Amino acid sequence: MGYINSTYLLVALSLTVVFACIGLAIWSSRKPRVNTKKVTVTGGLARSQEITRDQKWNSDFILSAIADGVVMVGKDNKIHLLNPAASDITGWPPSEAVGLDFHNILNLVNEKGEPCALLDHAFAKALATAQPVRDSNSWLATRGGKRIPISLIVSPVVSGGSKGAESVVGVFRDITAERQEEAQRSEFISTASHEMRTPLAAIDGYLALALNEKISKVDANARKYLEKATVATQHLSVLFRDLLTSSKAEDGRLASYPAVVELGEIVEQVAEAGRFHAKEKGLELKFIMSSSDGTGGGKVIRPLYYTYIDPNRMREVLQNIIDNAVKYTAEGTVTIRLTGDASVAQIQIQDTGPGIPAEDVSHLFQKFYRVDNSMTRSVGGTGLGLFISKKIIELYNGRIWVESELDKGSTFFINIPRLTTNQALEIQKKQAITTSPLDS
């Protein structure tokens, strides 16, 4: 009996050891692995040991291999580095370009071929402000006389003790192929949207006739289905309308008839219209007008914000943003403010909705972009409204942006150049003017 117990004990001990080893192996496999390779980090740039050891992977080799153009410009406005890709795009050999003023090599123009103002040049801005500058709207006039669209980002090189930029590095690429693809997509969307509007209008008309009790008799169930079909058709009509508008906005075909307009009147009218929809949801909509001009004699002076805009386009923008604020706010207040200073009129549209995640804010004005959460999925939309709004505001040299905090709400800001009373009167006298005086 003692022999048998010893055998069982030996087997039990062996199994215990085996299971312990298996458990250790499983635990080891699940344990996060530590990177044992040596990594060199210099100025935030990480390099593996192999790259550090092999001299062929130096910066000259990498810059020569990059397909994008890379240019370094110093405080003296001269080019100090130009890689092969930049040479191919500009048409300037590196040996000739280095040492010349960057304006001669990087000759930026607009789509019409008009030269970029000296202070508006991306490289000049980055040198002056020591801030990164992005530009996807300029064209590069090459040495051979060609004009090509480019995407450009210029980053300042700032040393530890200095306040300004010692130099700037620009990275750019030819986006001709992308522009052609965008034009084809835009043409397709424009054509399809235009062709679909006629049959949709016919369907909507026939549905309206079917729902008209004086013309046709339908039972309650059929009426319910027809009403749902009407809502779906109207939603589709809005989608095609937005697609057509966004297509026109992209290629510069958006109709605009600017005139001298007192912005306060338009904002007040749109706010009044939005108050009805807010009331339906149990929300309060406030309109507040303020000014940095101050008061006189203890009496509040209502400021006049003269601007040079198309009033119908501005109403379109305001209605879109106010409608969004009402749609996405479950309870609380939507506040519309009009304020400004001598040179800018600013509209603020603030809500107490769920707010926008920080990672979505920078993408909010992109075409078809929508914040993905339960509320946006239930409310619906095309993802084109803010894209179109941005394009419209930019027509009048304005700016639109948003500031938001989760669970606290969002505020949309619109800045429009403000005219003085004398400027407004002068423009009204010159009805023959075909371009905005704000462009000069």
Can you give the pLDDT at residue 310?
A: 93
Instruction: State pLDDT tens for residues 402-422.
Output: 999 988 999 999 999 999 989
Can you give the pLDDT at residue 9?
A: 46
Kindly report the CATH number assigned to the domain that includes residue 125.
3.30.450.20
Question: Residue 207 has which token pair?
Answer: 């549905």
Residues 210 and 127 in one domain: no
Residues 190 and 325 in one domain: no
Residues 303 and 426 in one domain: yes
pLDDT score of 197 more than 90: no
Residue 137 CB contacts under 8 Å (≥ 6 apart), including other chains: 110
Can you give the pLDDT at residue 290?
A: 79
Residues 373 and 403 in one domain: yes
Kindly report the CATH number assigned to the domain that includes residue 305.
3.30.565.10
Q: Report helix, strand or coil for 404.
A: strand
Decide if 356 contacts 405 (C-beta within 8 A).
no
In this structure, is residue 4 part of a structural domain?
no
In this structure, is residue 50 part of a structural domain?
no
Residues 128 and 237 in one domain: no
Between these two residues, 1 and 234, which has the higher pLDDT value?
Answer: 234
Q: Phi-psi bin for 332: left (phi > 0), alpha (psi -120 to 50), beta?
A: left
In this structure, is residue 407 part of a structural domain?
yes
pLDDT score of 245 more than 90: no
Strands (E), 314-364: 333-340, 344-351
Can you give the pLDDT at residue 322?
A: 95
- Quote the domain boundaries for residue 122: 67-174
Domain boundary pick from 174, 201, 226? 174
Name the residue among 240, 231, 250 with its Cα closest to residue 199.
240
In this structure, is residue 8 part of a structural domain?
no
- Three-state SS string across 190-258, please? HHHHHHHHHHHHHHHHHHHHHHCCCCCCCCHHHHHHHHHHHHHHHHHHHHHHHHHHHHHHHCCCCCCCC
Query: Residue 89: how many CA atoms within 13 Å on its side-chain side?
Result: 28
In this structure, is residue 10 part of a structural domain?
no
Q: Which of 14-23, 69-78, 324-333 has the lowest mean pLDDT?
A: 14-23
Share of the chain above pLDDT 70, in %: 80
Residue 242: Cβ within 10 Å count? 20
Look at the block and give the residue holding tokens 């803010």.
386
Can you give the pLDDT at residue 296?
A: 43
Helix (H) or strand (E) segment spanning residue 40: strand 39-42
Instruction: State pLDDT tens for residues 55-99.
Output: 555 677 788 888 999 999 999 999 999 999 999 999 999 999 999
The CA distance from 382 to 321, in Å, is: 14
Domain boundary pick from 194, 221, 250? 250
Residues 121 and 135 in one domain: yes
Residues 415 and 280 in one domain: yes
Residues 167 and 196 in one domain: no
pLDDT score of 286 more than 80: yes
pLDDT score of 379 more than 70: no
Residues 185 and 96 in one domain: no
Tell me the mean pLDDT in the region 228-247: 85
Instruction: State pLDDT tens for residues 300-326.
Output: 577 899 999 999 999 999 999 999 999
Can you give the pLDDT at residue 269?
A: 94
The CA distance from 407 to 368, in Å, is: 24
Look at the block and give the residue holding tokens 């087997």.
11
Residue-wise burial string across 85-102, b where 16 or more C-beta atoms lie within 10 A, e elsewhere: bbbebbebeeeebbeeeb
Question: Residue 100 has which token pair?
Answer: 């010349």
Q: Looking at the 3D structure of the chain, how many domains does it have?
A: 3
Residue 427: band (very low, low, confident or very high) from pLDDT cuts 50, 70, 90: confident
Tell me the mean pLDDT in the region 187-213: 85
Tell me the mean pLDDT in the region 36-47: 61
Average pLDDT of the chain is: 82
Can you give the pLDDT at residue 153?
A: 94
In this structure, is residue 35 part of a structural domain?
no
The strand pairing partners of 134, in sequence order, are 153
Q: Which of 16-20, 98-102, 110-114, 258-262 has the lowest mean pLDDT?
A: 16-20
Tell me the mean pLDDT in the region 169-192: 86
Residues 384 and 433 in one domain: yes
